[in-house]
A and B are shown apart, each in its own frame.
Chain A
Amino acid sequence: MAAHLKKRVYEEFSKVVQLPQEEAPAKKLRLTKPSKSAALHIDLCKASNPTDALQYLLHFARSSVEAESVEGVVRILLEHYYKEQDNSVRLKIASLIGLLSKTQNFNPETILDDTLNTFNTEKSHQILAQLLDTLLVIGTQLPESPTVRHRLIEVACKHLSDTYFGVRNKCLQLLGCLCNVDTPLNKDGQGLVPAVIGGGAPGVSGGVCVRDAQSVISDYFADQDPRVRTAAIKAMLQLHERGLKIQQTIYDQACRLLCDDYEQVRSAAVQMVWVLSQIYPESIVPIPSSNEQVRLVDDSFGKISHMVSDGSWVVRVQAAKTLGNMLQVSPHFLEQTLDKKLMSDLRRKRTAHERAKELYASGEFSSGRKWADDAPKEKVDTSAVNLIASGACGAFVHGLEDEMYEVRIAAVDALSALAQSSASFAEKCLDFLVDMFNDEIEEVRLQSIHVLRQISINITLREDQLDTVLAVLEDSSRDIREALHELLCFTNVSTKECIQLALLELLKNLTKYPTDRNSVWKCLKFLGCRHPTLVLPLVPELLSTHPYFHTPEPDMDDPAYIAVLVLVFNAAQSCPTMTALFSDHTFRHYTYLRDSLSHLVPPLRLPGRKQAPGVSGIEGSGSVESAQLFLQQSLSRISTIHNLQDPGAQDLLNFTIRDLQRLGELQTELAGAADFSATYLRCQLLLTKALQEKLWTMAVPLCLKDNAMATAAAKQMLEETYKLEFLYSGLENRQVATIHHVRLQAKALQLVLTARTRRGVEPLISVCEKFLQEVESFQRLFVVELPHLQESFVGKLLDVSPRLSACKPGELVKILQTTLRQSGFLNLQLPKQVQRASATIIEPTGESDNPLRFTSGLVVALDIDATLEHVQDPHNTVKVQVLYPDGQSHVIQPKPGDFRSPGPHRHRLITQVYLSHSAWTEACQIEVRLLLAYSSSRLCKAAWSDSSTESLQPAEGATEGTIPFGKPVKVFIMPKPARR
């Protein structure tokens, strides 16, 4: 053994000695670029004391290193590593090696041996930990190589018995990240085993048994340091994430860790128990101190529920969140989480919820006016009362009453997840969710309203519950009210009294907050749609009709009256008998509203009334299909055009564009697709027109700057392509390729135009080069799509591509010109669902004539409220632009918190923009609009350095810009000069 060791030591020494020779590749590099490694070497040599060296290294860490020179740099670093006495410098070197091995395109295997060698001499625990961290980086960079992994695991196992917690932590992390998923840790049963079991004492285990990673890691569940225990659990979780099946034996250990003294251990243990419950949900575990057995998922559910009343809120949040992910739990256990047995002086008491329910059942309205109304009734059997909630008892009752709102929100979310999967549970948790509407923190209230909306498909609200829900309508927060309206849209109620109650409260809301008009109407629309039969008996009362007498005609402009009509008309849609109850003016009002508020009032089949041709009642769902068909037909008609130079092609395009635009207006479902196609066709049309200009037939010297039309067309085409690419969601790769193709055409056109107008070859060269680069990148990006593009511009261009790169600019221009003219029309394939991003600014309305006055030089805040539809990732892309009359414009990026998402694909931006300007003599309008920012390529992040000091450069050729979308709004402002 000793001899072997000695030999290894010599080997290492010889390696270290070899270092200068191996610097050869680094030297070679020095010829091409001034190498980093050389500079570093010199710097480090210059360093007289550790502090200086550290400074150099810190400085060095900020610059990036090319993949080719990494190896050389690492060697130099290691050379200094062995020379260095100071721990901090060695530590920095170790961490630098880790950073360096993250460099892209660098294979860290080359430095693995050298890094491993450092372990033999290192004494400092901190540095060992850092070195292990470096190994972790190397290991994660080389996930495929089994030998590397084997060696790393060996090192990790060797250091598992270190006395310093950090080293053990890193070893466990390494094991978790690298241990083989399918095979046991070591096949031959040597190497790691003695080190692991014996804790450094040789010969205890004899190294015979084969142990797998799990049992090795699980040994450290009982480590004396809580940080190591946490790391062990995390490593186990990591194994699970990598697809290793964790053994069920771990379950007991994990459960024991739930009562650990340290919160981070408990928190990790909760995760561990959850993971196991997902792997073995159906296996049976015994209940201690009894003969009974339960399913494992139920057992773990009980245990995690218990953690909801833990002492540390971090653990409580974790536990509450986890509960929401345990959908396989039996309903019996699930319902226990809402269980609470009340007791007063040892007598059973009913909960307020139960009382409310009983009162409702007995038909009596809540009296609650006596003291001792809730007086306890029957005696409780003292031995049967279980004060410590065993298992899942009342977990959510606790969680929803928790001190920290983080826990409450987590509990609400968990309730939502569980309720969505179980209707009976949804019914039960209703009371609790409704209670949460009264929480002190708005976020929690809002969240619980949202959750109730999500589960409301499963439930029907009782009258008393609805009452509580509706009480929130008076909330002063607009978010809460709107969320509640949204909720009411989806609510099922049981009786006509409920409808009446809801209507009453909504009208009250309308008078108190008139700005809620739209939201309230929309809410009533859905309420009417959902409950036609409940609305029917209320109609005479609602419309205040009388069998004998004529009642006065209500005011048509009264928002409350409109609200009632919206409810009634929507109910009448599926209840044909209702129209008989209408009085004459109701019909008149119907036709008026049907026109003015067509999105709220559905088409009705009215007896004896002539129907407007456009709004025949039978339109229904068939119309969408027919519109779809029409869209397809128009597109296929277009596809008959082979060459845009054909006679009549332009007319066809013109007509089709017109058709599509009209279709988009009529059929909102297809607006996105229609607009998309129309825009695309317009691009083609522009191209055709540009190519038919006279200037092409003119001789080059003759055509001066007379080609304004063509230039404008090229420019517009470019703009349109960006709109096509970024304004529409739901595009597939195919469409993106098509769009890029149009862009290439536009660019080619631009190139040809420049060539014709400008004299001299010099400026052309760079433009041509750029264009060729773009063609190349197009080819790279859309390899898959190329077969579809055979006949098109690019297809033809690529056919002659070998010639392209070699030829002179003049030639290139000629080729481009002919290909542009000859290339066929590229057919547009519509994806299934195209949606156009849109934005509407609700506030400011732009109608106010009162200017916003403020002192010049100071700022004024302008409230902006806008809805965005079908915008992906609005937090990053949506910006507000303010345009002053003098042409100045500001772009403001709203805070991420200003965006709310009230529904799928919908966002709401409520923000403030700050305006300021120097003094004006009179009030003037500024324009506020929303912009959609885009950038054409994903950012390539430099992998080797995470430090934010480096500015992230977008990759070459990326274009960034903004597309205005939505209508701009004008606001009067009036900056006044400051008074002295």
Chain B
Amino acid sequence: MPEIKVTPLGAGQDVGRSCILVSIGGKNVMLDCGMHMGFNDDRRFPDFSYITQQGRLTEFLDCVIISHFHLDHCGALPYMSEMVGYDGPIYMTHPTKAICPILLEDFRKITVDKKGETNFFTSQMIKDCMKKVVPLNLHQTVQVDDELEIKAYYAGHVLGAAMVQIKVGSESVVYTGDYNMTPDRHLGAAWIDKCRPDILISESTYATTIRDSKRCRERDFLKKVHETVERGGKVLIPVFALGRAQELCILLETFWERMNMKAPIYFSTGLTEKANHYYKLFITWTNQKIRKTFVQRNMFEFKHIKAFDRSYADNPGPMVVFATPGMLHAGQSLQIFKKWAGNEKNMIIMPGYCVQGTIGHKILNGQKKLEMENRQTLEVKLQVEYMSFSAHADAKGIMQLIRMAEPRNMLLVHGEAKKMEFLKDKIEQEFSINCFMPANGETTTVITNPSVPVDISLNLLKREMALGGPLPDPKKPRTMHGTLIMKDNSLRLVSPEQALKELGLNEHQLRFTCRVQLQDSHSDSDTLIRIYTHLKSLLKGYTIQHLPDGTVMVESIVIKVSSSAEEPNTKVLLLSWSYQDEDLGSFLSTLLKKGLPSGLSSI
């Protein structure tokens, strides 16, 4: 039976290091190639030795697809393509292709230059790797080879995030990557058509969460910022350079614009500037509002947001500063925090999750005194706020996507096992489809029932039409006679005669004959007449003929009567029919075996 195999190398019952292998219709596809934030050893990258122990991956993989530019989805790409070895095509959308190398380079710098690791990929490797990338457009069907085709859908997670449909023949798999079903200030919502894939591989980060409306969150955020600024306080917002930062920028920018506010907003520079440039370029990937208004003004050309300089932190008066990194563990955001922490007029807003051990985590938990390096203590007087701005679909969103795509099977990745369990139950219960959640290295096999297209000859079709009956109903199967020719890798259904002619074969008649013994006291000819009348009375709607040469023809079935000389009462009926009339023939033979009714007149 044809089957589709899915093996997560990373992100199976886990978050991070997304890498999923799919074998479909004899093709092998790798979906995402990410790194794990939590590890610094070999576990950082997916285990490519699962594919092959030695040698390059090229001959084992038909293509690699990257869903978006987050490092847990593309961080291992240069390692895989350059260090392990892969020369085939790598597919990603245009924005991902543009932003991905910036992040990879940044990642490389931190690991090699700051942490001093060796045996890591180099800048040149990133460049070489990016040369293998083939860009994708939304809703564009790309033929990887003759059979394998892929198509990208909008995912709304970050700029350029895509869901991909992989299709071989009539079998298909959809991989969502990370996606978001609620639109935000700069991106739209994920969308997919009713493509009914065999497997839908979905992320499930928020498998057990149903979130509040984003409007409340936004309103709270703006209100808090507004109040602080009005009081003359300073607001610090630690962010990661890409993704949410842009959303918050737009949010504040439009709010400033609307409310005619004057307080300055700063953005600590770095890779953000480069990235912002790409946000300006890829307007088509943003939401309705930005797309519609960019002719008048590109929303990413911020009027109120300016580049930050170290010295500005000491300026008097209110201001808002976006600073990296997001968890307040190092860098500029920490420096500014130290300066501002002592004043209760100020405020810090944490827009995302903070890992344990970071200062961000500590202050979120309400710690009022922080120990800094050099045994100094820092008193935290400023207000600490937490705002969740995350762009993953929640449980309802995942269900909504399933409803949109109508898959035959579900497969959950990119989430915690316990939470997946809950969602899996729900999916099975509500949609009554199978749902899988393989761990890393575990293979899920799904048996598919692909439809095999067959060319039917026009003559045959017309002949069938001529036989009558209602117009063909595409939803109901219909039987017809024909010959299936499998030749030169193609299937054709033609009429038997044509098949014979094409193949240069002679037609062989196949006839079944059968003897039925019958006790009958009449003469042969009378018996025949009796049989004729008997059949005539039973089989209405069939042509029954009594031929002068002593036979009865029912359609094409010939019935003859003979009696042996010894026992004149035992008549032997000879039935003969061609294989096309098998049904009728066997019916007649069983009928005649029962004998003739006695009350039958001979005339």
Contacts and interface: CB of A to CB of B under 8 A. Distances in A.
Given A401-B183, A435-B219, A369 B383 contact: yes
Nearest to A406: B288
A400 B215 CA distance: 9
B254 to A, nearest CB: 6
B208 A345 contact: yes
Contact of B208 (A261, A346, A404): A346
Contacts of A340: 210, 212-213
Contacts of B471: 161, 163, 199-200
A145 interface: no
Given A397-B213, A471-B223, A389 B396 contact: yes
Contact of B419 (A345, A370, A401, A471): A345
B213 A344 contact: no
Interface stretch (B64-72, B187-195, B277-285, B329-337): B187-195
A405 B386 contact: no
Pick the 4 closest A-B CB pairs, nearest first.
A352-B216, A403-B183, A371-B386, A435-B215
Contacts of B384: 369, 371
A343 interface: yes
B138 to A, nearest CB: 15
A371 B367 CA distance: 11
Given A369-B383, A468-B219, A385 B426 contact: yes
Interface in B169-203: 182-183, 185, 188-189, 191-194
Interface string A192-211: 00000011110010000000
Q: Is the interface of A mostly helix, strand, loop or mixed?
A: loop
29 contacts: A224-B473, A309-B400, A311-B192, A340-B212, A341-B210, A345-B208, A346-B419, A351-B216, A369-B383, A369-B384, A371-B385, A371-B386, A382-B422, A387-B396, A387-B399, A400-B213, A401-B182, A401-B213, A401-B214, A404-B288, A405-B289, A436-B215, A438-B222, A468-B219, A471-B226, A474-B260, A475-B259, A476-B260, A477-B258
B335 to A, nearest CB: 22
A351 B383 CA distance: 23
Given A199-B471, A369-B385, A344 B209 contact: yes
Given A405-B289, A435-B215, A201 B208 contact: no
Contacts of A441: 289
Given A387-B395, A476-B257, 4 more contacts: A349-B212, A401-B213, A435-B213, A477-B258
Nearest to A473: B259
A188 interface: no
Interface string A348-381: 0101110000000000000011111100000000
Given A370-B366, A440-B289, A342 B468 contact: no
Interface in A377-421: 382, 385, 387-389, 397, 400-405
A515 to B, nearest CB: 13
A388 B430 contact: yes
Contact of B212 (A163, A351, A385): A351
A512 B230 CA distance: 14
A476 B366 contact: no
A372 B387 CA distance: 10
Contacts of A471: 223, 226
Contact of B211 (A200, A204, A342, A370): A342
B296 to A, nearest CB: 13
Interface residues of B, number: 60
B220 interface: yes
The listed residue with most A CB atoms (<10 A of its CB), out of B259, B384, B404, is B259
A521 to B, nearest CB: 21
A341 B194 CA distance: 28
A353 B216 contact: yes
B181 to A, nearest CB: 9
Interface in A129-177: 161, 163
B185 A440 contact: yes
Contacts of B208: 343-346
B365 interface: yes
Nearest to A346: B208
Interface in A525-560: none
B191 A311 contact: yes
B520 interface: no
Most buried by A among B183, B258, B403, B469: B258
Contact of A474 (B224, B259, B419): B259
A475 B256 CA distance: 9
Contact of A402 (B183, B209, B474): B183
A403 B385 contact: no
Contacts of B379: none
B211 A387 contact: no
A201 B383 CA distance: 81
Nearest to B427: A387
Interface in B353-393: 364-366, 383-386
Interface in B408-447: 419, 422-423, 425-426, 430
A833 B524 CA distance: 110
A345 B395 CA distance: 10
Contacts of A475: 258-259
Given A311-B194, A342-B210, A388 B422 contact: no
